[in-house]
Amino acid sequence: MTRCVIIGGAAIHNYEVIRTYLRPDDFIVCCDSGLKHRSGLGVEADLIIADLDSAENPHLPVETIVLPHEKDDTDSMAAVREMTARGYDEFLLLGVFGDRLDHTLGNIYVLLWLTNRGKKALAVDDYSEMEIISPGVVGKIDCAYPYFSLVSIAGAAGGVTIKNAKYTLNNAIIDSEYQYAVSNEPIPGKTAEVSLKKGALLLIRDRSDKN
């Protein structure tokens, strides 16, 4: 099955970089004001899911699901639920991190929700890309990313190992109240690797050249 791309309404400034993540056969879901990114990303919506509190209904000739204003799910969470129900196993989230810290944190946990259901999920913004590393998964960071960080987002992450990086770990614990695995660097010419035995880590690969 093709990949599902969910586009939220957070700011995207570097469309040129974000476009490199897109595939010709992606299924595009626009959430509310995520519709504004269609031109910059060079895509058209295959599906619109929105409560229309931050964008008017464009009445495009595509399937549109109008959500109630008062609901538990954010528009992006509703989109993820809908597309998971339709059988999609791979997700790319764009325009989901920005000025609203509450929405940013909520969307980080959308990644965790997807991972816990066996889905492959990646979120990308102007500066970095993020995914959840869970037991049995090896996260890789090549030298295209000057920095990377690990954040424990589901209690204590155990058995954490980092190889081929400036700061290594071997069978360590990263607790959510003490995030000491921030701003690491791959060893030049090598691919850093991250794994764990328990819990979940948010892996952030930073494309910027500034720490």
Q: Where in the chain is the domain with CATH 3.40.50.10240?
A: 4-126
Superfamily of domain 4-126: Thiamin pyrophosphokinase, catalytic domain (3.40.50.10240)
Q: What is the mean pLDDT of residues 63-86?
A: 89
* CATH number attached to the domain at 132-206: 2.60.120.320
Q: What is the mean pLDDT of residues 42-46?
A: 96
Q: Is 50 exceeded by the pLDDT of residue 211? A: no
pLDDT at 149: 97
Q: Where in the chain is the domain with CATH 2.60.120.320?
A: 132-206
Residue-wise burial string across 31-61, b where 16 or more C-beta atoms lie within 10 A, e elsewhere: bbbbbbbbeebebebebbbbbbeebeeeeee
84-100 pLDDT, tens digit each: 999 999 999 999 998 78
